[in-house]
Amino acid sequence: MHTLIFATQNRFKRDEVQAMLGNDIHVLSLSDLYYEGELPETHETLEENALEKAQFISNKFSMDCFSEDTGLEIDALNGEPGVYSARYAGNGKSATDNIERVLRKMSGEKNRKAKFRTIVCLILKDQIHYFEGIVKGIISEDITGNSGFGYDPVFIPEGSNKTFATMSKEEKNRTSHRRIAVERMKEFLKTHNHSDSHPGP
């Protein structure tokens, strides 16, 4: 069984990704390794932040690992909050503060189009690989629901009339941006493991 470190201290997020990857991959969170330090996120793009976190953990533990960075990109706000999604209202502010800032800036705006974008960066045998997951939708005019986290109460994915925050965990995971990116990594790992097990002549 292949073991990968997931560069997160959130065990719930680790469990979610473990369920997506199945039994062939064993996922460790940073909490499992008793690491409680901050992860660096100093860049202007999701790709650079994901790489920075993955390289930091890879160098620290000398193991294969992956990280993810996710942003909400709103058309009418020129892609904001994007890489600053978690701290859009300022450092130390809550998810509610972030949502309220988005709704204020979107007040009266007819173009509500937006997308969640997740980038997973995998470092496997010192090689870097990226996997992207995108879910398109719209920003609702009101906060609805109390499930999920982040901007879930104001994001309605395409093909639905419900915000992520009013969906069950199973409903959300079927269309989750993180799931799409992780599934792509899973397919890559299957191919990679297969080719390792059956080398060519």
Torsion of CA 82, 76, 147, 54, to 10 degrees: -10
Which runs of consecutive H residues, i.e. helices, occur in 22-116? 46-61, 95-105
Could you give the CA distance from residue 170 to residue 167 in angstroms, rounded to a whole number?
8
The closest alpha carbon to 27, from 64, 68, 70, belongs to 64
Instruction: Name the catalytic one among 15, 64, 69, 152.
Output: 69
Which sign does the torsion angle of CA 41, 45, 3, 126 carry? negative
126 is catalytic: no
Q: Catalytic site residues?
A: 69
